[in-house]
Amino acid sequence: MKTVVLKFGGTSVGSIDRIKKVCKIIASYKKKKNKVVVISSAMSGVTNDLINKSKLISNNFEKAEYDALLSTGEQVSCALIAGRLNHIGFKSRSWQSWQIPIITEGPYSSGRIKRVIVKNLKDYLKNGGIPIITGFQGVNNKFRLTTIGRSGSDATAIMLAKFIKADECIIYTDVEGVYTTDPRNYKKAKKIEKIFYDEMLEMASLGSKVMQPTSVQDAKLNNIDINVKSSFILKSGTLITGSKKAFSDQIITGISSTKNDAKITIVGVKDRPGVAASIFKPLSKNLINVDMVVQNISLNGKETDLTFTIKSDDLQKTEKLIKQNKKISFKKLSFDKDVSKVSIIGVGMITAPGITYRMFQALASKKINILVISTSEIKISVLISTKHVKKAISVLHKEFNLD
C-alpha cells in the first residue's frame, strides 16, 4: 500500500465549492487503496486578511502572538475538509501542527521544520483514517505556535513526506504545473515536464512563486520528488527531481521575474578597505536582505559608487540607516523603486557558451537598458526598469526557444 502526501494551496481550497472538489480528489486516492495524508493552506486571502488585522492593532505586533494569529487560517480549512470527507463517508480528522507535533526551530514567522513525530499519524493511517494537517506552522521548544514563512505549506508537505516516508508528494495548485515563466503574465509560457531541484530552487528564489524556495531546498536535501499539478483540471503536471534520466537538451529551462525591488546608489564613497562592510553592517543587523551589488572602478583611486538592490518594503529603513551611518561619507544617495530582476535559468548553460551574449543582445534589440547584472553557474539575472519586464520576458522566451 502506497503512502501519498497531497498538499492543497489557498486557491484550491478558496471556497466551499472548491473544498468539496478537493475532497473528491482526496477520495479518489483513498479509493485506490493509498494511505492518504493531506496538508492544506488557509483559504485564499485569509492569511493576508489576518496580517492586515494585526497591523490595525499594532505596527509592532508581538512576534509570538503574530504567529498564533496567522496560524488560525489553516485550522479553518482543515476542519472544513475533514468535515466534508466525514460527510461523504470517509474517516478523517483535522490535525493542528501542535497536536502532531510538528517541531520547528528558528525565529517566529520564519521557522524551519526540524522534526515531525509521526507515531499517532501512522496509527491513524493504518486504521484507514485520512489526516488533514495544517500547513505553514509548527510548535517550538517553548510550546508556542510558530509559522514557517509565507507559502510555507509547501515545506510542510515535503517534511511530512520525509518523516512519514511517503511514496509520493503532490502539490496541488491553481496552474497545471511549473511553466517556463509565469503563465498568468505570458500566454506562450509552456508547461515543463521535468525540472531539476537546482533549477526550481533558482526559479523559486528569483520570483516564480509556484513553489516556496525553502520547500525546494528541503526536497533537494532529502531527495524527495515533487509533483506539481492542478486541482482544477485532471492533467499531468511537472516533476521536480534530482534524477538525471530523460531530460531534454534545452539550454534554458525557465525565466523568472521579481516584483518590488528597489535600487540604491551611493555616489562618492571612499575607495578603501572596510567601507562596503561599514555600509552593509547596519543593514544586516536590521535583517535587510541585500541582493545584487556592484561597485564601480574608482577613476581617481579615492572615491567610487556603490549600487545595490533590496526589497522596496525596506527602502525607507535602508535610507535612514545609510544617512545615520557615521562610519561612511558620500556625495549623493539615489533611489529607484521601479526596478525588477529578470533571470534566465537552466543547467544547460554550464556547457553552452555564448548565453550571456544572446541574453544581452536580445534585450538590446528591444532597447531595454540593463542596470545591474549578476550570474551563477545556472542563472543570469539582470536588473531592468519594471515597465520593460513583459517585453523582456517575451523576447527572452523567444530567443531561447521556449515559445
Residues 71 and 136 sit within 8 Å (Cβ to Cβ):
yes
**Cα–Cα distance for residue pair 310/267, rounded to 1 Å:** 17
Out of Mg ion, ligand ASP, ligand ADP, none, what residue 42 binds, judged by CB under 5 to 8 A for its kind, is ligand ASP
Angle between helices 46-57 and 63-70 (to 10 degrees): 150
**Cα–Cα distance for residue pair 358/190, rounded to 1 Å:** 21
Which residue in 208, 217, 227, 343 binds ligand ADP (CB under 6 A)? 208
**Cα–Cα distance for residue pair 305/324, rounded to 1 Å:** 18
Compute the half-sphere exposure of residue 20: CA atoms within 13 Å on the CB side of its CA: 5
Out of Mg ion, ligand ASP, ligand ADP, none, what residue 174 binds, judged by CB under 5 to 8 A for its kind, is ligand ADP
Which residue in 3, 11, 47, 318 binds ligand ASP (CB under 6 A)? 47
Which residue in 38, 175, 339, 380 binds ligand ADP (CB under 6 A)? 175
Compute the half-sphere exposure of residue 81: CA atoms within 13 Å on the CB side of its CA: 39
Q: How far is CA 142 from CA 10, 72, 104, 139, in A?
A: 29, 19, 10, 8
Q: Of 185, 179, 189, 295, nearest to 240 (Cα)?
A: 179
**Distance, CA of 361 to chain centre:** 30
Chain residues that interact with Mg ion, rule: CB under 5 A: 9, 151
Which residue in 111, 138, 152, 348 binds ligand ASP (CB under 6 A)? 152
**Distance, CA of 231 to chain centre:** 19
184 sits near ligand ADP (criterion: CB under 6 A): yes
Binding mask 132-161 for ligand ADP (x = CB under 6 A): -------------------x----------
Out of ligand ASP, ligand ADP, Mg ion, none, what residue 208 binds, judged by CB under 5 to 8 A for its kind, is ligand ADP
**C-alpha cell read off for 339:** 526596478
140 sits near ligand ASP (criterion: CB under 6 A): no
Binding mask 233-262 for ligand ADP (x = CB under 6 A): ---------------------x--------
CB of 175 to ligand ADP, least distance (A): 4
Contacts with ligand ASP, residue ranges (CB under 6 A): 9-10, 41-42, 47, 73, 135-136, 150-153
Contacts with ligand ADP, residue ranges (CB under 6 A): 9-12, 41, 151, 173-175, 178-179, 181-184, 208-210, 254
